[in-house]
Amino acid sequence: MKLFGTDGIRGKAGDFLTVEKTMKVAMAAGIYLKPQAVTNRILVGKDTRRSGYMIENALVSGLTAIGFDIVEVGPMPTPAIAFITENMRCDAGIMISASHNSFEDNGIKFFDGRGDKFSKEVEQQIEDIFFNDTLLREAQVTGKKIGKAKRIDDVIGRYIVQLKNSFPVEMTLQGLRIVLDTANGAAYKVGPTVFEELGAEVIVINNKPNGFNINEGCGALYTKDLQNAVIKYRADLGIALDGDADRVVIIDEKGEIVDGDQLLGSLGVYMHERKVLKGDGIVTTVMSNKGLDDYLKSNGLKLYRSDVGDKNVLEIMKQKKISFGGEQSGHIILHDFAKTGDGLIAALAVLALLIDKKKKASEVLRPFELYPQKLVNINVKEKKALDKIDGLSEKIEELEKDGIRQLIRYSGTENKLRILLEAKENKLIEKKMEDIINFFKKALND
């Protein structure tokens, strides 16, 4: 059994992610962290899922059993947990969230004392400890060595200050009308507060979490209500967050979605113009459109690609000493202000761009044409190694000969095969997609 996926541990609460398993994960993480602990404190936050109570208590039990003191901060965005962990000098931070998934799922994301997500190597070490029952039993402490837990409710102010620091001090949002969809998730308090404090008129939707409505027909994955609200209220911009607010989708004043790659290109070139972009380009993933490549090149910038996941984007950013990157799905990292994708900081960067250019969102956030691209997900019973599938290498070679960029990979969190095809002609993509889907259906069912 494997615990960690693309972004921490994630699965159905009470089924894959049980109380027993959560306690063992907490103890395993505590055993890994103990030799390097400085303050002996670990921060724990969560989104608004009902199962967060169960998982939070299990984590606290496991960590205090190893001797750590726990600081619980309640519902807060994932990027806030990364920031506050470092700001409060904790040895580690934990976010309880399944991000954009529905309420039935939940997850655990780990951050080190610098606010960076645990590396794959660290996750593997924790996973090895998890399966060592003897080590788990012997590491538990007794008497005065058992840890304690306390809840604090005022850390939201620290994060709001950090958000406002990311926005140019000479600018104000005065005169702008924004519609904000908080997905009934972790940013339902902090999101409206920061935009209002900077002067915007804010209309908030989906900000009444009840434990079960997180991401339900709203937020970054379901933007129809937000698009309609932007038109209804004649707003300058629509901002959709996901359940833990590490992702953002932008809606222009016409009620239309701004493509994630176009958003990355707009912000990257704008930062380059302002001379605040560190490095010689930006970092995105293998999913990003070739149109973004061409646009950056025309502005003297390079495009570096990583594997899917904002953790992988950040790794390349560090290697190349680049301060900006993200995923087309809406995880956008401004590394001068955040260690992970941060939907609120990204939205503030978009607003700064609109104010500086004195133009509407529809005029500045689509600076280049996208290559036609199609993504299809196929449900699979088991994830058969792609290099073991007979005839696949020939199929890929055939696609590349036809000038089609392809990306075929399994989901890190679900039993799905993801197929992405991209080319200059849409008809060619449709024809080849049908062919490759039929190939996989036969190959994976044989």
393 assigned to active site: no
Cα(386)–Cα(290) distance, integer angstroms? 24
Cα(406)–Cα(394) distance, integer angstroms? 13
Cβ atoms of 60 and 108 closer than 8 Å: no
Nearest-CA neighbor of 189 among 204, 179, 201, 174?
Answer: 204
DSSP 259: P
CB within 8 A of 208, min separation 6: which ones?
A: 184, 188
Cα(69)–Cα(200) distance, integer angstroms? 39
Token output for 198: 């900077």
CA atoms within a 13 Å half-sphere pointing along the CA-CB vector of 400: 8
Q: How far from the centroid of its chain's Cα atoms is residue 440's Cα?
A: 29
Cα(284)–Cα(305) distance, integer angstroms? 5
- Sheet with 373-379: strands ordered across: 373-379, 416-422, 405-410
Q: Which of 97, 99, 306, 329 is catalytic?
A: 99
Burial code (b: 16+ CB inside 10 Å, e: under 16) for 52-69 equals bebbbebbbbbbbbbbbb
Q: How far from the centroid of its chain's Cα atoms is residue 12's Cα?
A: 19
Cβ atoms of 259 and 353 closer than 8 Å: no
- What are the Cα distances from residue 58, in Å, to 17, 23, 52, 105? 11, 5, 10, 16
Q: Which residue has the tokens 């900077």?
A: 198
Instruction: Write down the H helix ranges in 34-77.
Output: 51-66
* Helix, strand and coil percent figures for the chain, each rounded to 5: 40, 20, 40
Active site (catalytic) residues: 99
